[in-house]
């Protein structure tokens, strides 16, 4: 019997009795949850936002298996199991939408429905990184005959343990596998699948799967079972529920050890970083040679950019109205950025590099090699590339709201609410934690500043402009002999003065950006204080005098924020700017501090 959970945050383990699993259905419900809190905003606007959120997510699921969407006051998330076809994925999603509309009061502020094949969730706050209930949701499959053998239980436990360990190390947090069970001369098979939502960190994915794995032991030795939390899904069965073509080879991820082990190996064999850069340089020369021999109008053949689109120069020129000044949305030392409207209506950002100097070539090389491998919701996404002659073009996702600096001290200053500001702070922190600790090599951005933080239409922050980024192995400090690169006012003293480069340089810059977000002031604004001379010095002086709140942007409504919460976030920002660099927290620690702070603020309201 299916149990429906309708209230609060307390979730009990559910058991479901079925007559075997021969006829597997991906639309079998594991959880139904409708909130019981009334919508506190205009109902018609809210319902319109819900409909738009559903529509946006369905559009995304037509090409990928994970979707997030945001419309006014409404956050949405949906995910299909990766072994489902697009048709089955959309069918599961549509079933979820239908059931939510049928079972949930439309005047309530959210719902969370989970099925074997997919899940659908929406609500009025950002739940993208939530990973746990108070207890996992458990569904066991029983049949009328005897339970499976002891051998089956042992093999199933081993497979579930392995797939739970491998999944956080796989790019899209998804895996499906099977193993044979040989018992008294008979052979059977156990099938298993695991998945995490793509908005959480590998460590959160691992922790979530550990909990549902422990929960799922309750079902064994029965022939099947599923255990889920908001952040992950784990299932096994003695009947196949995915095609062999969807099987993932998990052996390399099991034998490879943990992410931290891999990073340690990279730290020991520091030469791997040098080798990586040499390979990047070779790829660069190959790219240039291909451009030289290309016929007029030919596209750039960059097979190294796996998963990206090769655009024709002609199409991108047409999309930007011949790189019109009216379409220019940004500029830098070696590249200009234009808004582009493609023939199919898609809006993109086109970064145009003119390679007339070795410095420009170096910046382009860095950006291509690094960002083509990065996949995180708080890092700008490279869609593709194109080129002609000395002009090379990178095509990025278009950020509707432009750069953060415009909302702090530019033409849109004062329009960011406190909630949007803290969400932006947390998003930047998560993006940097990914670059420093979760990517397979540590990436130091070197130029974190408000103008390099872009905002999408839901004000989700994206770290952009990797032209100055550098690779390094974990815990390695580099002495930079070349000229300092970065932006004064944001750059850590040990790097600006002595050339010492570690990921803590980005941590310092992050702290400065947080102070700008809180105050609405530029870090080097001469009007801040004639005595302090800079935003950082001004913030430290206010902190020492216990006048934290004097730093808060005067355009903010005091009723929007909790005073103690603001103080603690200012304190976190100042922690990030401490000297020496070793006293600064790692960005993963910053994420934990901010997340704890925001949960505390939420409870206080």
Tell me what pLDDT residue 300 has: 32
Task: Give me the mean pLDDT over the 14-33 stretch.
Answer: 56
In angstroms, the CA 333 to CA 330 distance is: 11
Task: Give me the mean pLDDT over the 524-549 stretch.
Answer: 78
- Using a cut of 0.85, tell me whether the model's pTM lies above it: no
> Is the pLDDT confidence value at 120 over 80?
yes
DSSP 504-549: HHHHHHHHHHHHHHHH---TT-TTS-TTT-SHHHHHHHHHHTT-GG
Could you read off the pLDDT of 394-447 as tens digits, one per residue?
A: 898 899 899 999 999 888 988 999 999 999 999 999 999 999 888 777 888 889
In angstroms, the CA 382 to CA 371 distance is: 7
Confidence label for 290 from pLDDT (cuts 50, 70 and 90) = very low
Could you read off the pLDDT of 551-569 as tens digits, one per residue?
A: 999 899 888 888 888 999 9
Burial of 149 (0-12, 13-18, 19+ CB in 10 A): middle
Terminal-to-terminal C-alpha distance of the chain: 38
Domain ranges of the chain: 29-257, 271-397, 405-604
Of residues 364 and 80, the one with the higher pLDDT is 80
When computed from its CA atoms, the radius of gyration of the chain, rounded to whole angstroms, is 26
* CATH superfamily entry for domain 271-397: Phosphorylase Kinase; domain 1 (3.30.200.20)
Could you read off the pLDDT of 53-104 as tens digits, one per residue?
A: 999 999 999 999 999 998 888 999 999 999 999 999 999 999 999 999 999 9
Tell me what pLDDT residue 498 has: 77
Asked, colleague to colleague, whether 29-257 and 271-397 share their fold, the answer is no
Tell me what pLDDT residue 596 has: 74
Give the CATH fold of the 405-604 domain. Transferase(Phosphotransferase); domain 1 (1.10.510)
Q: Is 447 a known active-site residue? A: yes
Task: Give me the mean pLDDT over the 238-266 stretch.
Answer: 69
Tokens (6 digits) for 503: 């990921």
> Is the pLDDT confidence value at 113 over 80?
yes
Catalytic residue among 405, 447, 506, 553: 447
Give the CATH fold of the 29-257 domain. Killer Toxin P4; Chain A (3.30.430)
Confidence label for 362 from pLDDT (cuts 50, 70 and 90) = low
> Is residue 394 a contact partner of residue 367, using CB atoms and an 8 Å limit?
yes
Tell me what pLDDT residue 114 has: 96
> Is residue 172 a contact partner of residue 64, using CB atoms and an 8 Å limit?
no
Confidence label for 274 from pLDDT (cuts 50, 70 and 90) = very low
Tell me what pLDDT residue 3 has: 32
């Amino acid at each position: 019997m299916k149990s429906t959970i309708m209230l609060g945050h307390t979730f009990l383990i559910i058991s479901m009795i079925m007559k075997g699993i021969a006829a597997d259905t991906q639309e079998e419900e594991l959880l139904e949850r409708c909130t019981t809190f009334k919508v506190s905003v205009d109902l018609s606007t809210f319902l319109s936002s819900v409909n738009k959120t559903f529509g946006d997510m369905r559009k995304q699921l037509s090409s990928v298996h994970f979707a997030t969407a945001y419309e006014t006051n409404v956050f949405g998330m949906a995910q299909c199991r990766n072994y489902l076809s697009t048709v089955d994925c959309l069918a599961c999603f549509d079933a979820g939408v239908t059931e939510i509309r049928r079972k949930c009061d439309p005047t309530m502020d959210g719902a969370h429905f989970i099925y074997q094949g997919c899940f659908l969730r929406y609500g009025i706050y950002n739940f993208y990184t939530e990973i746990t209930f108070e207890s996992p949701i458990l569904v066991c499959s029983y049949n009328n005959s005897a339970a499976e053998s002891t051998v089956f239980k042992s093999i199933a436990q081993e497979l579930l343990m392995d797939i739970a360990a491998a999944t956080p190390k796989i790019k899209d947090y998804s895996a499906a596998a099977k193993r044979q069970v040989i018992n008294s001369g008979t052979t059977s098979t156990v099938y298993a699948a695991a998945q995490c939502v793509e908005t959480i960190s590998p460590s959160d994915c691992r922790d979530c799967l550990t909990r549902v794995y422990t929960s799922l032991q309750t079902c064994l030795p029965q022939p099947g079972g599923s255990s889920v939390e908001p952040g992950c899904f784990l299932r096994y069965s003695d009947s196949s529920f995915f095609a062999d073509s969807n099987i993932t080879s998990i052996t390399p991820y099991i034998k490879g050890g943990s992410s931290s082990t891999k990073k340690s190996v990279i730290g020991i064999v520091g030469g791997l970083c040098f080798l990586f850069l040499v390979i990047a340089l070779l790829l660069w020369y190959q790219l240039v040679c291909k451009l030289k021999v290309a016929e007029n109008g030919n596209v750039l053949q960059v097979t190294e950019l796996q998963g990206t689109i090769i655009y024709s120069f002609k199409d991108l020129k047409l999309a930007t109205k011949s790189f019109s000044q009216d379409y220019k949305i940004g500029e830098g030392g070696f590249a200009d950025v234009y808004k582009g409207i493609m023939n199919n209506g898609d809006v993109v950002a086109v970064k145009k590099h003119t390679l007339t100097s070795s410095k420009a070539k170096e910046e382009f090389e860095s950006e291509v090699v690094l960002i083509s491998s990065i996949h995180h919701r708080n890092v700008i996404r490279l869609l593709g590339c194109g080129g002609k002659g000395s002009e090379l073009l990178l095509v990025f996702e278009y950020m509707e709201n432009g750069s953060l600096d415009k909302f702090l001290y530019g033409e849109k200053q004062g329009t960011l609410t406190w909630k949007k500001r803290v969400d932006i702070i947390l998003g930047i922190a998560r993006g940097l934690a990914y670059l420093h600790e979760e990517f397979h090599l540590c990436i130091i951005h070197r130029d974190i500043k408000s103008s390099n933080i872009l905002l999408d239409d839901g004000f989700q922050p994206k770290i952009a402009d990797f032209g100055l980024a550098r690779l390094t192995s974990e815990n390695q400090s580099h002495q930079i002999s070349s000229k300092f690169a970065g932006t004064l006012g944001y750059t850590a003293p040990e790097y600006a003065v002595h050339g010492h480069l570690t990921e803590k340089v980005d941590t310092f810059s992050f702290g400065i950006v947080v102070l700008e977000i809180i105050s609405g002031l530029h870090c080097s604004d001469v009007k801040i204080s004639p005595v302090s001379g800079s935003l950082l010095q001004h913030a430290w002086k206010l902190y020492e005098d216990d006048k934290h709140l004097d730093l808060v942007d005067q355009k903010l409504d005091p009723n929007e924020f909790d005073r103690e919460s603001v103080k603690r976030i200012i304190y976190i920002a100042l922690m990030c700017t401490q000297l020496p660099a070793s006293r600064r927290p790692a960005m993963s620690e910053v994420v934990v501090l901010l997340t704890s702070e925001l949960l505390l603020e939420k409870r206080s309201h």
